[in-house]
Amino acid sequence: MDYSHIPVLANEVVEGLDPKPGKVFIDGTLGGAGHTRLLLEKGAQVYGIDQDPFVTSRTPELPGLTVLKGNYRDMVELMQETGISQVDGILLDIGVSSFQLDDASRGFSYHEDAPLDMRMSQEGLSAYEVINGYDPEEIAAILYEYAEERHSRRIARYIVEARQKKPIETTTELAALIKRAYPGQHARGIHPARRSFQALRIHVNDELGALKDGLQAAKTLIEPGGRLAVISFHSLEDRIVKQFVKGNNGFKPLTKRPVEATEEELEHNPRSRSAKLRVAERTEEDQE
């Protein structure tokens, strides 16, 4: 499989991070290395981090790139192993990668039949364990908290009733079950399972917890005058980034509002529709 992808908000990321020869950056969510390649082209050195073993085992050798396997929430520890304690900038492109969505076997998509997995690291808790093991109240809470699914309790009830007969094993089984649980009509073109799958993915990978930890790690690693750029695809993620940057955490926001894709980019890359970029500069010290 070709795991490269079109980097979202590419020009805006490069402008925000201001890469130059001699500068050192971390791409905490390496993925297809789209953004990393742009930083390397400007002469920067990049440490690319990814928890997905598919990525770290298949990323091509690129001059100036060092690949590290792990979760970006552990950036400080990962960089200690390299001997680097301070960097000029960090990029976090949050969420699921295009190649993870396109690989049906990973279980992220409700369109393709696959085992219920959704683990980016391919380790730890899976969606199968959540759907077949959690109490209905826990399932409903996940769907509501991470996707604002207004029918969360009804969906959870349908899930528990179905799994009493047999385990729910595949993505299409779950998607069909959620569709049956949905009362009345749903928005045209939007599958009723979309929100639930998003919520499960966020929970399984502890994405919001990782983001909070990653922002704190960035505070430790970025030297004064360095830049932090975060691309989010979900309102909960963007809210966390906004509050962190504006919360006297030693960063000065360089984007008053989140930067979004232009109409031209949307034509070439529809997956950039929900992307929001925030850029901030590390200050000398935390603001009191």
Q: What is the CATH number of the domain that holds 127?
A: 1.10.150.170
Per residue in 215-254, pLDDT tens?
999 999 999 999 999 999 999 999 999 999 998 789 999 9
Residue 253's H or E segment, with its range, is strand 251-253
50 is in an annotated binding site: yes
pLDDT of the residue at 267: 92
Residues 200 and 137 both lie in one domain = yes
Considering its fold, how many domains does the chain have in total?
A: 2
Residues of the chain predicted below pLDDT 70: 1-5, 97-105, 185-189, 285-288
Give the domain range for residue 24: 10-99+207-282
144 is in an annotated binding site: no
Q: Is residue 216 situated within a structural domain?
A: yes
pLDDT of residue 59: 86
Q: CB–CB of 192/186 below 8 Å?
A: yes
Other C-beta atoms lying within 10 Å of the C-beta of residue 66:
13
Which of 168, 184, 205 delimits the end of a domain?
205
Residue 72 annotated as binding site: yes
Residues 223, 259, single domain; the answer is yes
- Token code pair at residue 177: 């079950």
33 is in an annotated binding site: yes
Assess whether 187 and 271 both reside in one domain.
no
**35 annotated ligand binder:** yes
Question: Do residues 227 and 200 share a domain?
Answer: no
- The answer to whether residues 22 and 69 belong to one domain is yes
pLDDT of residue 186: 61
Asked if 34 and 89 sit in the same domain, the reply is yes
Which CATH number belongs to the domain containing residue 30 in this structure?
3.40.50.150
Residues 26 and 93 in one domain: yes
Shared domain for 112 and 146, answered yes or no, is yes
The answer to whether 38 and 58 are in contact (CB under 8 A) is no
For 24, the 3-state DSSP assignment is strand
Q: What angle do CA 225, 228, 230 make, to 5 degrees?
A: 165
29: closest CA among 90, 101, 99, 103?
90
Asked, for residue 4, whether it belongs to a domain, the answer is no
Same domain, 95 and 211: yes
- Collapsing DSSP to helix, strand or coil, 216 comes out as helix
